[in-house]
A and B are shown apart, each in its own frame.
Chain A
Amino acid sequence: MNESREWSSQSIQAEINALRHKPGALLPILHALQDRFGFIPPDAVPLIAESLQLTSAEVHGVISFYHHFRTAPPGRHVVQICRAEACQAVGARQLEAHAKARLGIDYHQTTSDRDITLEAVYCLGNCACGPSVRVDNGVRGRVTPEAFDALLDELQTRPLEVIA
């Protein structure tokens, strides 16, 4: 997640052009944009609409329907806590309360130092070894409140270089 997240109309259009020929291209395009920029820049909506011959309302409707897509930049790391039943059975509710208190934020918020964005997720497929937490693209298992604190230390003591 340390690539440049600077976006421009040209770079957005390049991502769109690489995928617009695919049948049902909208989700692949949105994924490509979010993978590259960390979120869907607002300027992307009319460009996608024009390229796929949709209305801006249709594109916006798709972005807002899916929990995965975000329209504001996240923090340096995205931490998702599994809220689903298998993790509940081994203490996920206590973990989420601990995480919110420790970070001082709720779900869908970012810490003021922009280190961590906290999200809820419903199942990471690690249900035999919960509670589970996803940090960026990696999953952690058996995350006790103590393990969560250690994880935060790890994320915050090795900050990734931010390209200004």
Chain B
Amino acid sequence: MSIRVFVPRDTTALALGADAIANRLAREAAARGESITLVRNGSRGLAWLEPLVEVETPTGRFAYGPVALADIPALLDSGMLQGSVTHSLALGPTEEIDYLARQQRLTFARIGITDPLSIEDYRAHSGFRGLEAALQSAPPDIVEEVKASGLRGRGGAAFPTGIKWQTVLDTPADQKYIVCNADEGDSGTFADRLVMECDPYLLIEGMTIAGLAVGATQGYIYLRSEYPLAKEILDEAIAHAEQAGYLGENLCGSGRVFHLEVRLGAGAYICGEETSLLESLEGKRGLVRFKPPLPAIEGLFGLPTVVNNVLSLAAVPFILAEGAEAYATHGMGRSRGTLALQLAGNVKRGGLVELAFGTTLRTLMEEFGGGTLSDKPLRAVQVGGPLGAYLPESQWDLPLDYEAFAAESAVLGHGGVVMFDESVDMAEQARFSMEFCKVESCGKCTPCRIGSTRGVEVIDRIRADQNREANLALLHDLCETMVDGSLCAMGGMTPFPVQSALNHFPDDFQRAANGDRS
């Protein structure tokens, strides 16, 4: 009987050599006369343990990691293929790894367990039950279910998903669209990528349900060009789903229609803003549109369009399969359900942590993250991507909740948590925020286009000690202008990290910029 051995194939595992590990394992096992079947699964999201090799035993799956090529002979000698736990890389039963066992995985219940492209695996692990429920429901009932779940947009703006869907449902048109925003440009975030690379049918199912709910027959996944592997996996998954009747002209024999296509972005951060994304999908420069009209009423090609983030759409199959109540019981206040947090940057145990809203940032960074990778004291943490505030220690006891963060001028955004140790120069980080805005601004409105350029210049003068106090006052003023006067969140939120650096780390703006990073 052949032993099943799992070696992940997501971007992070591959970036750390998973292909070479898989080849070597196959060769070494063959040389020893062991019969193994290699499965290229998705990642469990425990990035610091990648490449994480798992072996299936009669008592469940056992994990080993992070595995280097040189470890393989000793691992096999130790009895890894029988689930032995004697080697120093042995982690025991995968499901009992503390980091994983303490999570509440609803959206990510399946990742890392299955072969991402196997429809049989997907079905065997509760896949398509949400779609089957949706096919038995009237469109308004699907929308009601999503509303009752309390699901809010996971892209960052946290707008109630069900209300957006209701607007599209209520707007009559011959053609409507479902657009998935997969332009995951925030540094420190990779949850969308994990869904697409490790559980692509989940996104396909969520988008199909959205189509049934609002009467849209065409969907587009707008995927960033920095994710070539996700493109390859999604294209293949869509082809399989079409063959199996889960996409196309006759969904599961119901006579209902939904088509899906992946479109690649082209390296513009601004195209994560929904109206810029729609312009790009139409084949234009990604210039932000004025709102109103809302995309739900006049969206892609001027027609009613649902634009949702990957994680919002990926939460929907669970809600339809298990009921709104099962989702809404998780969370706190108006933040219902779970949030996919991503621990990144200078962190010992980086990876994906799906938790109900309400856990504190400190718990996340210490108990899951294990502190900094460098073992130096943690100094600042940026939550919510390049437009999110840097939080000092006094704010680490904030609960992870949209309203609690907003009250502190911070954002949860897409759930990225980027940790920095004491070597960070916050004036340099503030400069980068302005520089990034300068590179990525679409150029339509002046506060963003010119403000970011001037912001870089002003911070350079402060760091060069030219008229420092006057330039600090100017920087505060410039930040206010950008917040109040920009057309979208790019210019409107770029000041958040800058202001937080100014307010919480003022000393860093009082010393000269130099190369001393010790």
In the complex the two chains form, what is the Cα distance from A141 to B344 in whole Å? 13
B35 to chain A, nearest CB (A): 30
Would you call A24 an interface residue if the criterion is a C-beta within 8 Å of the partner chain's C-beta atoms?
A: yes
In the complex the two chains form, what is the Cα distance from A89 to B190 in whole Å? 16
Would you call B455 an interface residue if the criterion is a C-beta within 8 Å of the partner chain's C-beta atoms?
A: no
Given contacts A85-B345, A128-B344, contact A62 B193 (CB under 8 A): no
When C-beta atoms are compared, the residue in chain A nearest to B386 turns out to be A85
Residues A87 and B347 in contact, CB atoms below 8 Å apart:
no
Would you call A25 an interface residue if the criterion is a C-beta within 8 Å of the partner chain's C-beta atoms?
A: yes
Would you call B184 an interface residue if the criterion is a C-beta within 8 Å of the partner chain's C-beta atoms?
A: yes
Would you call B436 an interface residue if the criterion is a C-beta within 8 Å of the partner chain's C-beta atoms?
A: yes
Q: Which residues from chain B contact A121 at a C-beta distance below 8 Å?
A: 226, 267
When C-beta atoms are compared, the residue in chain A nearest to B46 turns out to be A128
Q: Which residues from chain A contact B382 at a C-beta distance below 8 Å?
A: 85
Interface membership of chain A positions 67-109, coded 1 if the CB is closer than 8 angstroms to chain B and 0 otherwise: 1110000000000001011111110000000000000000000
Q: Which residues from chain A contact B47 at a C-beta distance below 8 Å?
A: 128-129
Would you call B128 an interface residue if the criterion is a C-beta within 8 Å of the partner chain's C-beta atoms?
A: no
Given contacts A24-B283, A127-B416, A128-B48, contact A88 B432 (CB under 8 A): yes
Would you call A1 an interface residue if the criterion is a C-beta within 8 Å of the partner chain's C-beta atoms?
A: no
B430 to chain A, nearest CB (A): 12
Within B462-490, the residues touching A (CB, 8 Å) are none
> Which of B11, B225, B343, B344 meets A68, CB within 8 Å?
B225
Would you call B30 an interface residue if the criterion is a C-beta within 8 Å of the partner chain's C-beta atoms?
A: no
Q: Which residues from chain B contact A89 at a C-beta distance below 8 Å?
A: 344-346, 418-421, 424
Residues B266 and A68 in contact, CB atoms below 8 Å apart:
yes
Residues A139 and B267 in contact, CB atoms below 8 Å apart:
no
User: Which of A27-35, A110-118, A152-160 is the interface stretch?
Assistant: A27-35
Would you call B396 an interface residue if the criterion is a C-beta within 8 Å of the partner chain's C-beta atoms?
A: no
Within B305-357, the residues touching A (CB, 8 Å) are 342-347, 350-351
Q: Which residues from chain B contact A130 at a C-beta distance below 8 Å?
A: 344-345
Residues B283 and A25 in contact, CB atoms below 8 Å apart:
yes
When C-beta atoms are compared, the residue in chain A nearest to B228 turns out to be A137
Would you call A23 an interface residue if the criterion is a C-beta within 8 Å of the partner chain's C-beta atoms?
A: yes
B239 to chain A, nearest CB (A): 17
Residues A126 and B12 in contact, CB atoms below 8 Å apart:
yes
In the complex the two chains form, what is the Cα distance from A21 to B193 in whole Å? 29
Residues B226 and A125 in contact, CB atoms below 8 Å apart:
yes
Q: Which residues from chain B contact A86 at a C-beta distance below 8 Å?
A: 187-188, 344-345, 416, 418
Residues B345 and A125 in contact, CB atoms below 8 Å apart:
no
Q: Which residues from chain A contact B15 at a C-beta distance below 8 Å?
A: 126, 129, 132, 138-142
When C-beta atoms are compared, the residue in chain B nearest to A66 turns out to be B266
- 20 further A-B contacts with Cβ under 8 Å, apart from A61-B285, A86-B187, A127-B344, are A26-B284, A30-B266, A66-B267, A67-B267, A68-B225, A68-B265, A68-B268, A69-B266, A82-B187, A84-B187, A85-B187, A87-B345, A90-B345, A122-B439, A123-B187, A124-B226, A127-B189, A127-B190, A128-B12, A139-B15
Provide a sorted-by-A list of 23 A–B residue pairs whose CB atoms are within 8 angstroms. Answer: A24-B263, A27-B264, A52-B283, A67-B267, A84-B187, A85-B188, A88-B345, A88-B432, A89-B344, A89-B420, A90-B345, A90-B374, A122-B185, A123-B187, A123-B226, A125-B11, A126-B11, A127-B342, A128-B47, A129-B350, A130-B345, A134-B226, A142-B16
3 nearest CB pairs, A to B: A128-B350, A84-B187, A26-B283
